[in-house]
Amino acid sequence: MSNQSGPLLSKVREIQCTIQELEANLQISRSNERNAHLCFHMDNLKSNTINIQLNDAIQDNKYLLNVLQNKCSDIDLNRNISNSQISTVSMVHLQFKYEELLANHNGLLKMLENKLSEIHTLTEEKKKLQEEKEIYRFKLEESSEKIEELNSQLTSHQLHHKKKLDRLNMEKETLKSVHNQLTFLLHEECMKKNDILSNEIKESQVPERAQLLKEVQKNNLLIFENVRLRQENEYFKALLKLTGNSKRKKIKGKMMVMNG
């Protein structure tokens, strides 16, 4: 389970880092967007100011032309020539001023166009970042749900395994107790028979019978030892069977959790 949850937790941390980066990029995008709007507003104010100055200059130019035209009809030829020279100088100055203002106006329009293009690009990037953020948020929620599900399965499996382990330990203790009781009874029975034979050997007056009783006594001890060994063999077989079943069930439980 730990081998499986490790990559999941790593993936979740990676998604969280990505979301944090996306949120930071989104904040930067918003800041750039605000700056772009501010620049656009300032450029718009400058453009309006230049337009006003240009209109004022055009009005001044018209006014000067009207004044000069009205005066030309009331003055003599010399004065007319002088006024014509003044008008020419004024027109040149106004034309130069107009061209300067027009160049500034065109430059501001170009700058405004660039700012609008930059705002459009930032808006598209912001939209894309928000979409990616939602995708990673969904993946994070999905991974969190998967981890919770795996943790629940692991807890259930651990509880079930603990119950089985407690039952197995109880069965082992019962088996050990029965084995010890049987061994004790066999030993007690053997000792009783051995004591009886020992007394009969001591009381026997016939050497052949005493020798026969000794052989019977040895044979009984061998039989007891064989029975005791068979009993221990059965005890260890039963113990191994319990342990083997427990391990197989444990492996099966782990596979079920992993497949789940």
Under 8 Å CB-to-CB from 98, ≥6 apart: which residues?
A: 54, 57, 58
- DSSP letter for each residue of 195-259: HHHHHHHHH---HHHHHHHHHHHHHHHHHHHHHHHHHHHHHHHHHHHHHHHHHHHHHHHHHHHHH
pTM score, whole prediction: 0.39
Taking the C-alpha atoms of residue 218 and residue 4, their distance in angstroms, rounded to an integer, is 63
Q: Which of 181, 197, 183 is CA-nearest to residue 225?
A: 183
Span 2-161 CATH architecture? Orthogonal Bundle (1.10)
> Mind listing the pLDDT tens digit for each residue in 1-21?
445 556 777 777 777 787 788
> Mind listing the pLDDT tens digit for each residue in 161-209?
888 888 888 888 887 888 888 888 888 888 888 888 888 888 877 888 8
Sequence ranges of the domains in the chain:
2-161, 163-259
